[in-house]
Amino acid sequence: MHRWAGRGGLLVTATLLLPLGVAAPAAAVQVCEQPPAAAGTVPDVPWPQLSWDPAETVWPFSTAAGVTVAVLDTGVQADVPQLAGHVLEGVDLVRGGPATVDCVPHGTALAGIVTAQAADGVGFRGLAPDASVLPVQVTDQAATAPDADAVDPARVAAGIDAAVGAGAGVVLLGVVLYADDPGVAAAVERAQAAGVVVVAPVGDGHDGQRDGTGPTTGRATPYPAAYDGVIGVGAVDASGLRAASSQVGDYVDLVAPGQDVVSAALGGQSLYEGTAFAAAYVAAGAALLVGDPDLALPQGAERVTAVARRLTATAVAPPSSTGYGAGLFSPGRALTESLTDAAPAPLPGRSTPSPDPAAEARAAAERSAAATSTGWALGLGAVAVLVAVVTLVVPRARRRGWRTGRPAPVVRDEVEPGFIPGDALFRPPPLP
């Protein structure tokens, strides 16, 4: 298993001018001095897929076709078979050139969670399989914990701007900064004004002995997750409980799978853990929403707000108020549930008259007398309405794939005894 907090593989570089004016060594081609070991094949279906059943509850509504997800991290290994054809050239802001080599490989795993394709003998598949990934390399190492080497915030800011300029609809940060930076904050604001959703991990610096159940103390405020409008994501395990190192604070908007999760690796698949991988699931969910034309999302900053609201409003209620934000990310619910934007407004120009006790008494008597004569008529009318619904609405709903404001009905194959879907862990027991 890969648990990311420190330094990645060393690199050998050559010379090329760095784009976007970020001062750094230049290189033409990134060559890994210590290439990552080849991974084996993981045939089992990962637990997040078993929980969500995306083939039934997600992909009938959206596969994120036409949406680009920028991954700001260590680059993405474009020749990984499950990513073939879905990784753009991107840009390496560390040395210049494309960002299609990953010597760690952290960014590759994030990209796999977003858009990995089906493969024979492999249970894992990305949540947004028709999305494209734009790799933007901002670091040579995985960096999501406070004790990791700091990432240059100027590169992060430039990376966000590069992603927006390249047409990304979603920006996924795979790194965490532990200091507020005006340049990064401004880049986030520019992205949001352009209608680009920014998703970031909340960091892996929680210490149970030091912090208890939270909040996480020390120099641990994660950026850009702590900025307004950025979707900050914590990690949970297969039991639905917060991962031990997943940070706790008001910057947590929701949680997603981030422990013992499967994703793409060089030569196969591997297990990963950390809040960056949880953020990748939510970024994929944001791409699904952006790529669903039936949702008719607004443009500009209002789109960012609408996506964040839908993701949090449809999250499964958490078992605790500490460290879970709005709850567990639920992609099927995010795509299919109807949301009420506001309470009905009163009609303009109307006032509420003062009550007349005598008139109210007369009205009550009249309603009582009329109840007997109208009861049967109402009952028969209800039957007629029910017949009309069955005759007209149900066939229409079936033609629409049961998109009736609720999650699509799921017909599940049998699962192994003892398995409990992740969303069921947060669901209250049925009433007797």
Report whether pLDDT(416) > 70. no
What is the Cα–Cα distance from 347 to 354, expressed in whole angstroms? 17
Q: Running DSSP on this structure, what letter comes out for residue 35? A: P
396 Cβ contact list (under 8 Å, min separation 6): none
In this structure, are 34 and 128 located in the same domain?
A: yes
Asked if residue 364 is part of any domain, the answer here is: no
In this structure, are 330 and 379 located in the same domain?
A: no
In this structure, are 254 and 382 located in the same domain?
A: no
In this structure, are 218 and 326 located in the same domain?
A: yes
Tens digit of each residue's pLDDT (9 = 90 or more) over 282-341 = 999 999 999 999 999 999 999 999 999 999 999 999 987 789 999 999 999 999 999 875
Q: Between the CA atoms of 227, 198, 204 and 242, what dihedral angle is there, to the nearest 10 degrees? A: 100
- The H or E element spanning position 232 is strand 231-236
In this structure, are 296 and 379 located in the same domain?
A: no
76-90, 251-265, 364-378: least confident range: 364-378
What is the Cα–Cα distance from 210 to 370, expressed in whole angstroms? 69
In this structure, are 248 and 387 located in the same domain?
A: no
pLDDT band of residue 280 (cuts 50, 70, 90) is: very high
State which amino acid sits at residue 425: L
Tens digit of each residue's pLDDT (9 = 90 or more) over 125-141 = 999 999 999 999 999 98
71-75, 291-295, 359-363: least confident range: 359-363
Domain boundary among 336, 362, 389: 336
In this structure, are 132 and 215 located in the same domain?
A: yes
**Total structural domains in the chain?**
2
Report whether pLDDT(349) > 50. no
Q: 275-290 and 301-313 helices cross at what angle (nearest 10)?
A: 120
* Token pair in block for residue 124: 């894992």
Mean pLDDT of 240-248: 97
203-207, 219-223, 373-377, 410-414: least confident range: 373-377
Tens digit of each residue's pLDDT (9 = 90 or more) over 153-191 = 999 999 999 999 999 999 999 999 999 999 999 999 999
In this structure, are 269 and 405 located in the same domain?
A: no
Domain boundary among 336, 362, 386: 336
Query: Which pTM was predicted?
Result: 0.76
Asked if residue 58 is part of any domain, the answer here is: yes
Asked if residue 141 is part of any domain, the answer here is: yes
In this structure, are 304 and 391 located in the same domain?
A: no
112 Cβ contact list (under 8 Å, min separation 6): 80, 82, 83, 124, 126, 263, 264, 265, 269
The CATH code of the domain that includes 34 is 3.40.50.200
Domain boundary among 336, 361, 390: 336
**Domain containing 239: what range?**
2-336
Asked if residue 422 is part of any domain, the answer here is: no
In this structure, are 389 and 250 located in the same domain?
A: no
Asked if residue 351 is part of any domain, the answer here is: no
Asked if residue 404 is part of any domain, the answer here is: yes
pLDDT score of 20: 40
Asked if residue 424 is part of any domain, the answer here is: no
Please spell the DSSP secondary structure of 279-297, one letter per residue: HHHHHHHHHHHHT-GGG--
